[in-house]
Amino acid sequence: MKRRNFIDNFLLFLVGCTTVNTYNNSSQISPVTLPKKLRFTVTDDKKLEEIQQSFGDFKTALEQVLETTVEFVPVENYVAAATALQLDRVDLVLVGPSEYVIIRARTKAIPLTAITRPNYHSLIIVSRKSGIKSLAQLKGKKIALGDLGAAGSHISPLKMLIDAGLNPKSDVEIFNLGEKERLMSLKKGEVHASALSNNTYEREVVEKKAESEFSIVAQSPLLPNDVFILNSKFEPAVVEQIRSRILKSQEKLIHALRLGRKNKKYKQSQLVPVNDADYNMIREVYRAIGQGTFF
């Protein structure tokens, strides 16, 4: 009987030792250490004060979510943002869909999360007096598009023209203008059509009660989302930790983002995983206009 008790007790002792060792081993797994500072930039705002006005509240919220310091780093454009990533001068960048395609191809930047933009479309508008009712009628005409590479006012409108059977290189004459110049040129009759994103149309036409002057001849399908991208230097575990925290706290982050200047476009946005295939439409347009070497 004593022998049996001894064996039982010894087995219980072994189980106890195994349990303690397993616990100790698990407790020795190093937690993921996030960077003490993240350098953040956007490609829409060129000056530090502009970034602060647009993303100051978002910066504060992001610092709380990640428990790290966020520092603004202004850049001139998406080319400068790509260079900053390559030279390790920036860690986190918010880019539009077209910029995402180019910067990712050049830098191997890591897509962190996408930010949806409900009702993000391109519009091609004409003067109501022109009598133009379709894109096909723009053959041989002058068209004002946005800055080179702008998804809503350049890349997507090119896709609309191509889908309508027009060759952007030979069937139309294209001018790349700022958003106010696009509308003014259309008003003056210097161009026959202008391309705008729906947000610009809402701000520059609807809110200014100028709808009676223009007709929308075409609207694009929903455009791909904006994207937060990370410097490729970060280890996968760090990327996943940052992504997880951001997605779990998205309500707080989106609320802070909407408070910024020019961020009305994110009014009904959500933070979602990035689906790279959604951006193939942009890649197709670049190839169609002879810029496929980007990829």
- Asked whether the predicted pLDDT for residue 149 surpasses 80, the reply is yes
Task: Give residue 148's region: left, alpha or beta (phi > 0; psi -120 to 50).
Answer: beta
Count Cβ atoms within 10 A of the Cβ of residue 253 and give its class: 0-12 exposed, 13-18 middle, 19 or more buried: buried
What does the alpha-carbon distance between residue 112 and residue 265 come to, in Å, rounded to a whole number? 20
Q: How far is CA 67 from the centre of its chain?
A: 23
Mean pLDDT, residues 146-158? 93
> In this predicted structure, what is the pLDDT of residue 230?
98
Question: Could you give all domains of the chain from N- to C-terminal order, each with its CATH number?
Answer: 37-118+224-289 (3.40.190.10), 121-222 (3.40.190.10)
Count Cβ atoms within 10 A of the Cβ of residue 103 and give its class: 0-12 exposed, 13-18 middle, 19 or more buried: buried
Residue 136 CB partners (closer than 8 Å, separation 6+): 164, 165, 166
What does the alpha-carbon distance between residue 70 and residue 56 come to, in Å, rounded to a whole number? 10
Mean pLDDT, residues 264-280? 93
Q: Average the pLDDT over each of 33-37, 61-65, 130-134, 260-264 and give the range with the smallest value.
A: 260-264
Q: Give the pLDDT confidence of 44-103 residue by residue, as tens digits.
A: 888 999 999 999 999 999 999 999 999 999 999 889 999 999 999 999 999 999 999 999
> In this predicted structure, what is the pLDDT of residue 23?
31
State both tokens at 39.
Answer: 């350098």
pTM for the predicted model, two decimal places? 0.83
Hey, CA dihedral for 76, 223, 234, 292, is it positive or negative?
A: negative
Contact 229, 109 (CB under 8 A): yes
Q: Give the pLDDT confidence of 2-48 residue by residue, as tens digits.
A: 444 433 443 343 334 433 333 333 333 447 899 999 999 998 888 99
- Three-state DSSP state, 124: strand
User: In which residue are the tokens 């190093």 written?
Assistant: 30
Residue 21 CB partners (closer than 8 Å, separation 6+): none
